[in-house]
Amino acid sequence: MRTLKAILIFYQKLIIPTLIVSVVMGMIGYGMSKEFSLKAIGISYLFLGLLFHYFIYEVRNSNEYYFYYNLGLSRLSLWVISFVLSLAIGLIFILL
């Protein structure tokens, strides 16, 4: 249960900025093609999720990895979790 809470805290910093930028990119695509596409939001969410993970946790807050390591989550497992959650949320948007 403690590990699940740590994962939720970890991904909480990623979901909001990634979703906002993905929707903005979808709106830009809407302005260019006059067609709103959830597929574009889903694809951009997948790539932006990993990009925001890099900037937030590798560049800006690299010392936070110690907190998650003490809870039993390595850097590799956090990257895999981030990829899987971004993929799941991106696929939800793509399949809608």
Per-residue pLDDT of 11-32, as tens digits, reads 888 888 888 988 888 787 766 6
Q: Count up the domains in the chain and report the number.
A: 1
Q: Pick the closest to residue 57 from 4, 25, 9, 90 (CA basis).
A: 9
Model pTM score? 0.80
Q: Which residues contact 7 (CB under 8 A, 6 or more apart)?
A: 73, 81
Q: What is the mean pLDDT of the chain?
A: 85
Is residue 88 exposed (0-12), middle (13-18) or buried (19+ Cβ within 10 Å)?
Answer: exposed
| Residue 88 half-sphere exposure toward CB, CA atoms < 13 A | 8
Q: Fill in the amino acid letter for 79.
A: W
State residue 37's pLDDT score: 74
What's the domain range around 10?
Answer: 2-95
State residue 25's pLDDT score: 83
Q: Pick the closest to residue 51 from 9, 22, 8 (CA basis).
A: 22
Rounded to an integer, the average pLDDT of 51-77 is 86
State residue 84's pLDDT score: 92
